[in-house]
Every structure is written in structure tokens, then in C-alpha cells.
Structure 1
Amino acid sequence: MRLIATTMAGLEPVLEEELKQLGATEVEPLKRAVYFEGDLRLLYRANLELRTALRVLKPVHHFRVRNEQQLYRQIYDIDWRQYMGVRDTLAVDAVVNSPHFNHSKYVALKTKDAIVDRFRKEEGRRPNVSLHRPTLRVNVHIFREECTVSLDSSEESLHKRGYRVDALEAPINEVLAAGMILLTGWERDCAFIDPMCGSGTILIEAATFATNRAPQLNREYFGFKKWADYDKSLWESLLADARSRV
């Protein structure tokens, strides 16, 4: 299946190499994202092991769009019942860079309207919206006239490693810190010094890299765990394998 891993500007080559090391095929770097081909196993591993990814998305529809009516109709025509039920909860994120749409929140609102209207017609009722850990988080990306609708398998951004309890003012993002380390070509068996470490993010990321510790090893919640095709045994086997490599 076709997948997308998002990242920060400038880290695309680093993420591309990470994906190749995980066994991804048809890897194609874009702006702040990398397309790749993989199966369910790779989707799980990408969420668990990628150091420079922010989210892992599963595209479900791609189309050209120039106005809100086209957007609504294309979203409405997707069979959303294969991804969620009417009693489930929904959230929509949108990223927009287009002359036809000025506000990402408006695109997210129209997307939500189309989804719940489809359910209302077919089920007689609509799913509720929940911004905190919904059953399904939908991502809409519009660039010029190209729109990609994806399911967010990560739910929360992957920069949240779970080790930061209290943050100093303006802490460095964990994904950026990991990307900086990987860009240096630092070898794990060499000393690593950060004399102006602040809250220690770069040092912590270096330590997890040196000990081969998957960045999301202690994270319990991912969006894909609420998907209909969630394979619990596969996920637990990947977790066990990751722990054995530390």
C-alpha cells in the first residue's frame, strides 16, 4: 500500500534513508514528506522506529479540486463505513497551500461536514467529533489543485517520545534533534558532547540512537490501534523485537 511519512523541511533525505533501512520500496522524497510503499508491518514499524517522521499517513483518495463544492462531493463519495462506524468519533486536520482555498480550518470543516452527512444519509445519524484521541483522524492535504485524503495512523505527532515531563522555554523538537544527529554522521561508539544542552533533548535523542532504542518504544497510543484491520499480535511481536534490540 502507498504510505506517506511527514517530516520537517530539510530532513526529507534523512527520512528517506530511514525508510529504506526499514525495507520500504518506491521511496520518493517530497517537500516535508516522503512517499513509500509498504505493508501493515511496515506501517507499524514506521510509527515505532522512525526518528525523523512526524506522522505516518495512509492515503485513501486523491483528486483535483478547485472549489468547496468539488471538495465536499469528493469527500462525500468516499465509503467511510469501511474505516469507521456511526458510533465512532472523528477528527479532521487540513494543510492547505492553494490559490483556491485560503483557510485550512475551513477545509477541515467542509471535510467533516461531508463525512457526517454521508453517515446521516446512510445510517440516519452522524458520528461525533472528538479532538482528543478520536477513533479516526483524517488528514486533508491540498497543494495547488491536488488534494490527498489520508488516514492518520499516528494520531499524535511522533515527536512526542514520552520522556519529556516538563519543558524549558522553547525546547527543540525531538524530530529536529534526531535529524541533526543523523545528518552529522555521528558513530554510536564515539563520545557525544552538547555543552549547551538546555533540557537535554539532543543528548537524549543521541542516547536512544546509540542504544538502538526505538523512539516510540514506551508509547501506548497510536491511531492505527482503532482501525478495523488492527493486528494486535503483529504489533506486539514488533514491540518485542524492538525491545530485544536495545
Structure 2
Amino acid sequence: MENFKMIAKTFFGFEEILAKELQILGAQKVEQGVRMVSFVGDKGFMYKANLALRTALKILKPIYYFKATNEQSLYKGISGIDWSEHLNSNRTFVIDTTVHSDYFKHSQFVSQKCKDAIVDQFRSKTGARPSIDKDYPDLRINIHIDRDQVSVALDTSGNSLHQRGYRIATNIAPINEVLAAGMLLLSGWDGQGHFLDPMCGSGTILAEAAMIACNIPANLNRREFAFEKWNDWDNDLFDQIVDSLLKKVREFHYTIQGYDKAPSAVLKAKDNIRNANLDEYVSITEKNFFDTEKATQGPLHMVFNPPYGERLDIEMERFYKNIGDTLKQGYPNTNAWFITANIEALKYVGLRPSRKIKLFNGSLEARLVKYEMYEGSKKAKFAQAD
């Protein structure tokens, strides 16, 4: 099978961990960009990347590049591709366009022009034409225009890869699965210890933590990928790739626990964990974190997504002070990480973070912060080190 270039899209701040994921999977020529990483592999690797990457939102397969400064040159460029290699006249397609250009102002106009070029090509060759289907197309085409550079790619994934397929029930402000996986990987979580999400909501961080710990492919529960409708879809090869990934699943010898004080959240989280077939690894209890103490021996790895006050009405100052007090009083020998878009509220935690990483939660600029809680006092720890 021949190799080709692909592009994995991701969130700001995850480029480095996505590049590392790709290298571990066996990608060639891995190069980081902004919110994306390019790499080279064959068709089997394209299937593997969609199944296994935790921090990718989409995998695109570029098929053509050209220059365009007006609608005529755009139409001509798109007409220069032999679309019968990718589509038949009785199939459906859709075009997603992003534009950063003075020559083209509106992405919808670009999509329309490109659609015309594709449809006209089929009509002149066969007398019939493929139609547009925005919801369930047979082919998703991605057009990206940067100044006068047009790149045309096929979307191998379809719906964003954060839609893993296990989450059926959600709360008011659920965290995106790719964001959850990226936070866990940035925090250094590798399954070699106990894990706690003390404000687990609908259980997304717990599910992603369990899949990382056991090396279960991120998108194993997903119903479909766009490449399954392609002309060159190879079902046997896909099954082979799934089998090879499942052979790498590993044992997990610690605990993964989730707390939430809302009974409805606990029920939803349990449903989602069961749906992901992860209930043998994860236990969820109805508890208010602020009334708890560390329940396990040895080091504890904690990652959570506390409310920001954006969609949930809470008293910020007191809430964040409680986080700091609970960690200080009840959680020795713990690495506690959480994400917040309420950067002001971090002042009230009353602890100095040892790391701060800039991320985005949706459109909100956020910080992923780390607090290291030592066994005994910090002074005593450093005195022993001397």
C-alpha cells in the first residue's frame, strides 16, 4: 500500500502530545503546526489513526493543491481533479470550507463554487450528478484557503473524533472528550497509580483515564468513520487493524474513582462508563469533594473540571478556596490538576500551582493548573532531601 500525507487537527496546546501519540503509533514524517500535526502513512495507518488517536479531532487526507485569486481560477482548480476516483454520480457529498484570504471573503460562496465545479464535471461526463447531503454524505470534502493557496482534502473521520460513541447522557457543561484526553496526557497520567476525579459530572474524564490506563483505543465504541463509505474501503484491513490494537490492551492494577455531589450526575456517569464497557475499572460515588479525604494509599493522580460560573451558579471565591483547603487538609501525596476558564478565581485556591498550561475550553481561554500536595509538610520534604 502506498504512503500519503495526512493532517490531524487538534486543539490549541495539544500539538506536541498529538505528535507524540502519532510517533508512538508509528507515523512517519511527523510535523507540528498550529492546531494540527501532519504525518505520513498508508491506508491501514489512516484507519489506525482514526481509531487510536486520543487528541485528534479529525484526520484529513489532502489530495490537491493549487493557487486561486478569483472564482474562475477556483472553479478551474477544482475541475482539475478527477472526482470519479472519489465519487459516483449516484452518491452524495458535502463541502466544509475555511477561508483566510483577501481574495475570498465568504466560505459559503467558496463551497458553492466548488460544488458547481464537481457537479458540472459529472454532468458533462455521465449526464448525471451527485447530490448534496449535509447530514450523512458519502464523501466529506474539506477546502482550506490561505491567501491564494487552496488545499483540497478528503475528511477521513466524518463527525469530529471527540464523538467517541460512549457518552449517551450529559450534564449542563460536559467536557469535550478530546479535551479530557489531552488534559490527562498533559498531566502525565499513564495508569501507574490510583486516580480520582472529585467532580466527575457525566464521567468523561473517568472514561478517558480508564482508556489511557488500559491502552484501549479511544474510538473503539464509535459507530462509523467517513472512510467506510469510500470507494476503496477495505473491511478486512479495518478488522485487522482493530485486532492489532486490541492485542495491545493492558492490565490495570489500581483504582479509578469519581465523586459528584449531584445524584443525577452520578447516574449519568455510571451509564456512560457502562456504555463504554469500563465499569470493571471505574467506581463512582455520590460525594461532595469538600467533605472527603484521600481514600487510597500511595501517590494519587487527580484531574478534574470544576464549574467556572459560566453556566452554573456558584459562589466562586468560596468554592475555589474550598478546593485549596480540601487538597491541603485531606489529600497528601497527590498531584492535583484541574482546568478553569475563571483565571481570576485561581487566586482563592490559596496554593501556588507548580504548572500552568494555556488551553481553550470551547471558545473560553482556560488554564490547566497543577498543585503538588506533599506527604507531611513541604519544608519537611525538602529537609529530608538535604
TM-score relative to the length of structure 2:
0.62
Q: Is 1:154 matched up with 2:157?
A: yes
Distance 1:215 1:166 in 2: 18
Give the drift of 1:245: 2.9
Supply the distance in 1 between the matched residues of 2:31 and 2:159 (Cα, whole angstroms): 24
Cα deviation, residue 132, structure 1? 2.1
Match of 2:178 in 1: 175
- Please point out which of 51, 68, 76 is paired with 2:71: 68
Deviations 1:46-80 (A, max 9, x none): 00000011111111101122222211110112100
Aligned-residue CA RMSD (Å):
1.3
TM-score, normalising length from structure 1?
Answer: 0.96
Q: Distance in 2 between matches of 1:64 and 1:169?
A: 45
CA drift at 1:187? 2.7
Inter-partner Cα distance in structure 1 for 2:32 and 2:41: 15
What is residue 118 of structure 2 aligned with on the other side? 115
Q: Say if 2:8 is the partner of 1:5.
A: yes
1:221 aligned to 221, 224, 234, which one?
Answer: 224
What is the CA deviation profile of residues 219-240 of structure 1, one whole-angstrom value per residue up to 9, with x for unaligned ones?
A: 2311111212222111011112
Aligned position for 1:41 = 44
Work out whether 1:78 is the aligned partner of 2:81.
yes
Structure with higher strand content:
2
User: What is the match of residue 52 of structure 1?
Assistant: 55
Query: In structure 2, the residue corresponding to 1:192 is in which secondary structure?
Result: strand
TM-superposed CA distance for 1:156, in Å, is 1.3
Match of 2:142 among 139, 144, 147: 139
Tell me the secondary structure at the aligned position of residue 100 of structure 1: coil
Cα distance in 2 for partners of 1:149, 1:224 equals 16
Worse-superposed segment, 68-77 or 175-184 = 68-77
Q: What fraction of aligned residue pairs are identical, expressed as a percent?
A: 49
SS at match of 1:99: coil
Deviations 1:117-143 (A, max 9, x none): 111111112111111221111001112
Counterpart for residue 191 of structure 1: 194
Structure 1: where are the runs of 5+ without partners?
none
Q: Which amino acid aligns with 2:185?
A: L
Structure 1: how far apart are the matches of 2:221 and 2:163?
11
Q: Highest CA radius of gyration, 1 or 2?
A: 2
How far apart are the structure 2 equivalents of 1:66 and 1:31?
24
Task: Give distance in 2, aligned partners of 1:10 and 1:141.
Answer: 21
> In structure 2, what is the Cα distance between the partners aligned to 1:98 and 1:109?
17
What SS does structure 1 have at the residue aligned with 2:66? Answer: strand
Query: Given that residues 98 and 143 in structure 2 are in contact (C-alpha distance below 8 angstroms), is that contact kept between their aligned partners in structure 1?
Result: yes
Kept after mapping to 1: 8 A contact 2:189/2:209 = no
Distance 1:66 1:12 in 2: 31
Deviations 1:8-57 (A, max 9, x none): 11111111111111111111111111111111111010000000111111
Give the aligned partner of residue 21 of structure 1.
24
Letter in 2 for 1:121: S
Matched residue, 2:207: 204
What are the equivalent positions in structure 2 for 1:82-101 lying under 5 Å apart? 82-101=85-104
Q: Which has the higher contact order (CA 8 A, sep 6+)?
A: 1
Map of 2:242 onto structure 1: 239
Q: What is the rounded CA distance, in whole Å, between the counterparts of 2:194 and 2:8 in structure 1?
A: 31
Structure 1 residue matching 2:61: 3-state secondary structure: strand
